[in-house]
Amino acid sequence: MTDTSFMKTPQVEIPVSAAGNIPNNPDHQGREDLIGLSREQLAERFALLGEKPFRVNQVWSWLYNRGIRDIDGMTNISRETRTKMQDVFHISRPSITSQQDSEDGTRKWLLKFGDRNEAETVYIPDRDRGSVCISTQVGCTLTCRFCHTGTQKLVRNLGAAEIVGQFLTARDSYGEWPTPNETGRLLSNVVVMGMGEPLFNYDNTVTALKILTDPDGIALSKRRVTLSTSGVVPRMYDLGRDVGVNLAVSLHAARDDIRDQIMPINKKWPLKDLIKACREYPAVSNARRITFEYVMLKGINDSDADARELARLVRGIPCKFNLIPFNKWPGSDLECSSWDRIERFADILCDLGYSAPVRRPRGRDILAACGQLKSESQRERLKRHQTTEAPPAA
Ligand code: SF4
């Protein structure tokens, strides 16, 4: 049996929701952002401007099919209407604080929003396609012990404009406008696995997902969008009903006593409730299986017994595992399981009928691998601050 006696129990308050939404992302002149408004909201806004409902389709196509960044470029809309729009709307993109390219092709951006808060977005190529990993919060309220991002306190939720804006920025970077056919895309998938717990920022995340999957704009198939949650059980039911994108669950343990120690959210929504929500997730089928993420932690969750318990726990759910070698980060007391152990763990799951590939670490040289996202500018700022504040050498 795995020895867990040495683990500390973090005392964490799990909030039901996180505060700080920025609904319409106004610019410094108070003009509302067109990016991030739902179709319904756009229709309301245009009605107030005395415009006909068909304007919504026109504007939507310019924003999300053509990637336009300037209202004046919407040439099938009359000059008079464009002038009216310019008085009340703007089109945002986050500004790029830094961009880093890994030797394996992974590209990471540190993006700055209107209030100077920052979050990270990563593009992970895979042959002729690839996934954009987007963030939903600045920081995180949860303190999953293996996660570097979890060491950064929650600052605020990102608005829908800021969530969608991450994907738009990635598309700008690769010049992927207008929206190509589904088969010819470099940026073919979205994974909502960056900073934060997306289901604690539910409304903004759902609005953003609806924009990303709208067939007349960015047009990502729901099958190509995966949201990862640490297990906000009530919202998993809502997500299945409201959007039905693919689900990934940060599982990381097959027993409550272990999961309590590494994922404090388990104390609020334990495995029994989490697994029930997975079984009942509406979009799940053999063609669209749930991904259970499982970080391999030496001596904690990686024994043969853990593997068998895991298979027993998820029996009957169309699912696959994603075994993640733990990325050691400064300050963490955890260790990655040995490769022999990871292979043995994967073999047991495979023998029991589950797909259990081991995730290849990506972007290690730019700290873009899973669980390592952290605002570098914040650290840079801190470093600069410390340099300024340090007493002069004697
Ligand atoms: S794994 Fe996700 S939910 Fe957990 S601390 Fe990291 S960012 Fe937050």
> What CATH code is carried by the domain that includes residue 43?
1.10.150.530
> In total, how many domains does the chain have?
2
Active-site residue, selected from the candidate residues 32, 118, 120, 162: 120
Q: Can you give the CATH number for the domain in which 194 is found?
A: 3.20.20.70
Separation between Cα atoms, residue 183 and residue 382, nearest integer Å: 44
Q: Are residues 319 and 282 in the same domain?
A: yes
Q: Are residues 120 and 247 in the same domain?
A: yes
Q: Are residues 144 and 46 in the same domain?
A: no
Q: How far is the CA of 143 from the centre of ligand 1 (A)?
A: 6
State residue 3's pLDDT score: 38
- pTM for this structure? 0.89
Q: Are residues 127 and 176 in the same domain?
A: yes
Q: Are residues 190 and 249 in the same domain?
A: yes
Q: Are residues 172 and 293 in the same domain?
A: yes
Q: How far is the CA of 127 from the centre of ligand 1 (A)?
A: 28
Residue 46 falls inside a structural domain:
yes
363 lines ligand 1 (CB under 6 A): no
Atom of ligand 1 lying closest to residue 194 CA? 7
Q: Are residues 37 and 103 in the same domain?
A: no
Q: Are residues 123 and 137 in the same domain?
A: yes
140 lines ligand 1 (CB under 6 A): yes
Q: Are residues 135 and 68 in the same domain?
A: no
Q: Enumerate the known binding-site residues for S-adenosyl-L-methionine.
A: 196-197, 228, 250-252, 327
Separation between Cα atoms, residue 141 and residue 150, nearest integer Å: 7
Closest residue by CA, ligand 1 atom 3: 197
State residue 160's pLDDT score: 96
Q: Are residues 233 and 123 in the same domain?
A: yes
Coil/strand/helix, residue 20: coil
State residue 162's pLDDT score: 97
Amino acid identity at 184:
G
Strand partners, 125: 130
State residue 228's pLDDT score: 97
Q: Are residues 198 and 291 in the same domain?
A: yes
Q: Enumerate the known binding-site residues.
A: 140, 144, 147, 196-197, 228, 250-252, 327
Amino acid identity at 178:
P
Per-residue buried b or exposed e for 312-333, using 16+ beta carbons within 10 Å of the residue's own CB: ebbeebebebbbbbbbebeeee
Q: Is 120 annotated as catalytic?
A: yes
| Integer CA distances (angstroms), 52 to 34, 44, 46, 65, 257, in order | 17, 10, 7, 21, 58
State residue 184's pLDDT score: 85
Give the end of a domain, one of 67, 90, 113. 90
Closest residue by CA, ligand 1 atom 4: 144
Domain that holds residue 39: 32-90
Q: Tens digit of pLDDT per residue, the chain (394 long)?
A: 433 333 333 333 333 333 333 447 899 898 999 999 999 999 999 999 999 999 999 999 999 999 999 999 999 999 999 999 999 999 999 999 999 999 999 999 999 999 999 999 999 999 889 999 999 999 999 999 999 888 888 999 999 999 999 999 999 999 999 999 888 899 999 999 999 999 999 999 999 999 999 999 999 999 999 999 999 999 999 999 999 999 999 999 999 999 999 999 999 999 999 999 999 999 888 889 999 999 999 999 999 999 999 999 999 999 999 999 998 888 899 999 999 999 999 999 999 999 999 987 777 777 665 556 554 555 555 554 444 333 323 2
